[in-house]
């Protein structure tokens, strides 16, 4: 009996030591933004060129190119050229110039154009921080870690937020919130002093940067 109790104590101790430490998601989000968001305030200026493709239809309305010249969150220029739509958007402080050609700007293409430079939009970050999510501390395992929470929105409807990240490196895999997002981030590479996702995957429509 004494041996059985000893074995149980050892097993429980091993399980406790194997359990990952939990940390506030707010801490992980701050690290992710600083590490991998090109359009972070205070980041270095950049030029980006990317292609949006539809693996099921090469002539899809979603396909096209994105070019962005970015100096700061208050000063940038982006040109999106799709099969049936194009947009030039110039931001210079409080002044915003926008020219649209075509009747319909596909939401998916717009989300991908935003996501490639800002994969963690401030509205989603603020919401997850308000909800007080907790997640496994990076470096405590392998595979995909997730933090998820269901809640009632302002209209009383149940919805959720979900953050998926690499358990080992802490790099963002994907984000789900009521306001975004679309792609699964992949192909992380060094860019200036950051490590950023050059592409999205696992969806019919994806974006890939050629920078």
Q: Give residues with Cβ within 8 angstroms of 202, minimum separation 6.
A: 183, 184
pLDDT at 18: 57
Q: What's the pTM value of the predicted model, to 2 decimals?
A: 0.83
pLDDT tens digits, residue range 1-21?
555 444 444 444 444 445 679
The CATH code belonging to domain 20-209 is: 2.50.20
CA angle centred on 38, ends 174 and 182, rounded to 5°: 25
pLDDT at 182: 77
Distance CA 150, CA 155 (A): 14
């Amino acid at each position: 009996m004494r041996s059985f109790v000893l074995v149980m104590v050892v097993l429980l101790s091993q399980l406790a030591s194997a359990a990952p430490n939990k940390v506030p998601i707010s801490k992980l989000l701050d690290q992710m933004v600083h590490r991998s968001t090109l359009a972070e305030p205070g980041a270095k200026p950049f030029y980006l060129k990317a292609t949006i493709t539809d693996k099921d239809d090469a002539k899809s309305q979603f396909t096209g190119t994105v070019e962005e010249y970015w100096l700061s969150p208050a000063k940038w220029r982006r040109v999106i050229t799709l099969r049936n739509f194009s947009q030039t958007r110039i931001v210079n402080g409080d002044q915003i110039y926008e020219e649209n050609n075509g009747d319909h700007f596909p939401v998916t293409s717009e989300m991908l154009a935003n996501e490639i430079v800002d994969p963690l939009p401030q509205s989603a970050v603020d919401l997850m921080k308000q909800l007080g999510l907790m997640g496994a501390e990076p470096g405590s395992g392998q595979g995909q870690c997730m933090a998820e929470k269901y809640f009632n929105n302002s209209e009383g409807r149940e919805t959720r937020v979900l953050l998926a990240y690499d358990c080992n490196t802490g790099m963002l895999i994907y984000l789900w919130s009521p306001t975004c997002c679309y792609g699964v981030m992949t192909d992380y590479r060094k860019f200036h002093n950051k490590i950023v996702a050059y592409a999205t995957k696992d969806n019919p429509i994806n974006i890939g940067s050629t920078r």
